[in-house]
Structures are given as C-alpha cells and as structure tokens.
Structure 1
Amino acid sequence: MGLEAYFLAGDINKSEKYTAQEMHNELKGLVEEGVLEEEEIPKISTISNWISRYAQTHRKLKAQQAL
C-alpha cells in the first residue's frame, strides 16, 4: 500500500483513519517485509504534518465541490 492509500482509507471508512504513529508502525512493518528500506520511513512528526496538510487540502476541495 502506498502512502496515499493510508490517507484514502480514512476517507472511505472513517473507522480506518490512521494516526501518525499507526502509519509509522505500518511503514516499519513494510520494512520488515522487505517492501521498503528503513531510510524511506519518515519521522512521526513528518507524517503528522502530512496528515494535517492532506486534511486541510481535502476539506478545501470538498468545500469547492459543494459550491
């Protein structure tokens, strides 16, 4: 699952929203499976910033669609 898929999962089903820590843990699991390299995993603070920016952009798009 790509990083964007974690964001989209929460859009489809609100019960599947990931926190930054949960997303980080999932990505670390992908390292253990050999899908990602350790250096590809962002810090939790970076993931948290991504979540905030994504949510802000998503709300803005939804507002524009509603107009």
Structure 2
Amino acid sequence: MPKGWALPENTKFSKKGSRKKIKTKVIDYLKQFFLNSNLNPKDKLIAKELYEELLELAHSGEIDEDHVPKVTTIQNWIE
C-alpha cells in the first residue's frame, strides 16, 4: 500500500445520499395535483403534465425553477 492512503485528502467517500431531493413545497404541489386527479378521474395528469404544471408555477414565481424535478423523478414519485 502506498504511504498516506489513510489521510483525509486521500479518502474516497461514497456518494450515498448525495442525490438531489425534491423540496417540500414541490411535494406539496405534487400531492395537491395528485389528489385533485383522484377526485376527478377525467382530470388525471401524467408525469409530463405534472412537470409542465410545476414549470408554470416556477415561471409565476411560486417555486424556484431549480427545484422542479425531472419527468422521470415525478414518474417514480407517482409509482
């Protein structure tokens, strides 16, 4: 083993838990959209439509555009 392998600057940490998390305010909006679609099945939104709704909220200033998750993230959240 090379010398200095245990020094902090040489230590490699896993990236577990370093994923970007969905902000609480965004989750609240997603829950609201999801519950509204459960009340009226004809108003059911798919992940792409939920993404577009969140983008509209971001453009209006309700949430930060950086906090809008990807469509695949929303799809995983729905399932």
Question: TM-score, structure 2 length as denominator?
Answer: 0.62
Q: Which residue of 1 aligns with 2:39?
A: 12
Q: Which residue of 2 aligns with 1:51?
A: 78
Identity among equivalent positions (%) equals 37
1:37 aligns with 2:64: yes
As a proportion of its length, which structure holds more helix?
1
Aligned to 2:61, what secondary structure does the other structure show? coil
Q: Which residue of 1 aligns with 2:48?
A: 21
Distance 1:51 1:19 in 2: 9
Can you give the 5+ residue segments of structure 1 that lack an aligned partner in the other structure?
53-67
Question: TM-score, structure 1 length as denominator?
Answer: 0.72
Aligned to 2:48, what secondary structure does the other structure show? helix
Q: Which residue of 1 aligns with 2:3?
A: none
Structure with the greater alpha carbon radius of gyration: 2
Distance 2:51 2:66 in 1: 12
Q: What is the RMSD of the two structures over their aligned residues, measured on CA atoms? A: 1.2
